[in-house]
Structure 1
Amino acid sequence: MTLCEDRVVIVTGAGRGIGRAHALAFAEAGARVVVNDLSAAVAGEVAASIGPRAVVNTDDVGTWAGARRLVEAAVDAFGGVDVLVNNAGIVRDRMIVSCTEDEWDEVIRVHLKGHFAPLHHLAAHWRAVAKAGGTVSGRVINTSSGAGLFGSVGQANYSAAKAGIAALTLVAAAELGRYGVTVNSIAPSARTRMTEHVFDSMAVPEHGFDAMAPENVSPLVVWLGSAEAGEVTGKMFEVDGGRICLVDGWQRGREVDKGERWTPGELGAVVRELVAGHRPVPVYGA
């Protein structure tokens, strides 16, 4: 399969789990891969399994300088970058009343800043290429979560970061399209170190289809990273097992316009009428 033949792909958090599956799937599709992970050992194992078409990078994408070095390393190794898969993440699950400042800050840094910083530096690279008259076929695939789309009890920090990634995807798609760049996001479900406590009751089948295998998520990501996917941007997809679902975000519903300022006392009946019958997707764990 050569859907991504010679395309240069950065995958963050690619040493284990879903990121590892992405890196291997892109390599199988013909891509050259920058395997980014804080652990040189696990990143090296993934790169070794790919061969000379892969390089290792251990920069921290949650820092401005680390994200810049990652992009520079990809350009130095392969002459450019075609695809960024923002996948790196951590969890520090706590109820709101128990969450510490450090646990909040670290999750926001790794997930949200860890998406924005590589995107920022790579967007600057693509803009420079486009302004110099070059052709850009850039693809960004961000990693949000059902927690970011619908909320998850005990994961206020993670949910907030993943919701921010969903909004970042929309803004980046609108801003970067002029340079030949698409930006999409996935909300995957799979068995990884981060989700073992969620899916530990789902046994791995000895034979047949393992719906929670990380490898199930990667085919969509590889296609979104291909030159073929140029007409798809600003979209969010849930993906797990063999299921792919296009997710619509916040949409305007019922409205009432008085044409002048309301008084607080008259708004009770108005708000009750607006929310009557509204049934949002339940928050996970509620």
Structure 2
Amino acid sequence: MTATELRTVLDTAHSMRRGEWRGVKPLAGLSLALVFEKASLRTRTTFDVGMYQLGGHAIALSNTEIGLGTRERVSDVARNLERWVDGVMGRVYLQQTLHELADHAAIPVINGLSDMLHPAQLLADYQTIEQEFGPDLRGRRVVYIGDGNNLANSHIHMGILTGTDVTIVTPVGYEPNAGVLMDAVKAGVQVTLTHDLAAVEGADVLYTDVWISMGQEAEADIRRRAFRGYQVTPAMLETIAPHGIFLHCLPAHYGEETVPGATEHPKSRVFDQAENRLHAQKALLYHLMGEMRARW
């Protein structure tokens, strides 16, 4: 996305959250394939309900049914889906799978999660942040603590687009992707990378994610040892700015990256953030697929 496109999507998402699109069906007659290699609660529910509320239809396809790259080539799956549906959302293990789908399907392909990035989540995150601080986020301190994973990578990209001051606090050896960090350098944007937990102090937004993602279960014990001390607790939330908020994309592994007292803390906006997955993704679907309605 460009910064202008992001602004358009977020403005629409805010409007949808206010109920201004109730009863409007701009995607009537359109269908979205939901392709899942990884399990999902929020991604599946919000894309499915979002299509329904916009007048369209969603069909969920598990990897048992498709077998991306095993039962059938990814390129063949793409060429089939483009003949039947008007868009694809993929929640997959590898970023390359999404590139293959997009390269061979002449319809929009949305990243619902990959090993590299999680941009649909970040749309909801920044909608939530804007609800708290307004649309001009330049200079706001967003501090991400934990694994330098797809969420951390996408936070860096959002910092490039919005002008937020992004800090990644992570143990040695768990830093974000080097190519994503280079994206920030090329854009002339400063990203602070540190192992010092003191960087949390004074944050406008404190964000965390699980230490052990799906597919990393074999590393669980090693990761728990590496991330010891990086847990977001109510005490840590008292060190962020008085107006600061806490976000977590969920699911939470309580006792590891956070505790119930943090997600239920007065500074937590975790469940507003979860609600905004619906509104932000509806806005994305409308802007990606809405113009197709006239051609359908």
TM more than 0.5? no
Which structure has more relative contact order (CA 8 Å, sep 6+)? It is: 2
Larger radius of gyration: 1
Query: Could you state the TM-score of these two structures normalised by the residue count of structure 2?
Result: 0.37
